[in-house]
């Protein structure tokens, strides 16, 4: 297995992303905060892209994805979204 450097977002981008991830439903907030607690300051560019795409969803649609009631479809069905969704679900 090769050790490829995964680009991480910087501190300012992380702060903006955390602010962007604040949600109206407590359930969403809890799952997202758990993700950030596990990742600490190490959020990759790909994860940030996936989170940003998920934050464009309505709270109830996001909750359906997080609780596996639905799977991503359409333009939200990208590798970045699936990667971060898998992290958020565990």
Average pLDDT over residues 72-76: 95
Residue 89 pLDDT exceeds 80: yes
Each residue's pLDDT tens digit, 4-60: 688 999 999 999 999 999 999 999 999 999 999 999 889 999 999 999 999 999 999
**In the prediction, which pLDDT does 6 show?**
84
Residue 3 pLDDT exceeds 80: no
**In the prediction, which pLDDT does 1 show?**
45
**In the prediction, which pLDDT does 85 show?**
97
**In the prediction, which pLDDT does 14 show?**
96
In three state form, how does the secondary structure of the chain look?
CCCCCCCECCHHHHHHHHHHCCCCCHHHHHHHHHHHHHHCCCCEHHHHHHHHHHHCCCHHHHHHHHCCCCCCCHHHCCHHHHHHHHHHHC
Q: What is the pTM of this model?
A: 0.89
């Amino acid at each position: 297995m090769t050790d490829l450097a995964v680009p991480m977002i910087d501190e300012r981008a992380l702060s903006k992303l955390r602010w962007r991830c604040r949600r109206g439903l407590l359930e969403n907030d809890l799952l997202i905060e758990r993700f950030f607690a596990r990742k600490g300051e190490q959020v990759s560019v790909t994860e940030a892209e996936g989170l940003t795409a998920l934050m464009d969803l309505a709270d109830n649609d996001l909750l359906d994805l997080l609780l596996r009631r639905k799977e991503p479809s359409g333009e939200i069905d990208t590798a970045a979204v699936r990667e971060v969704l898998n992290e958020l679900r565990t």
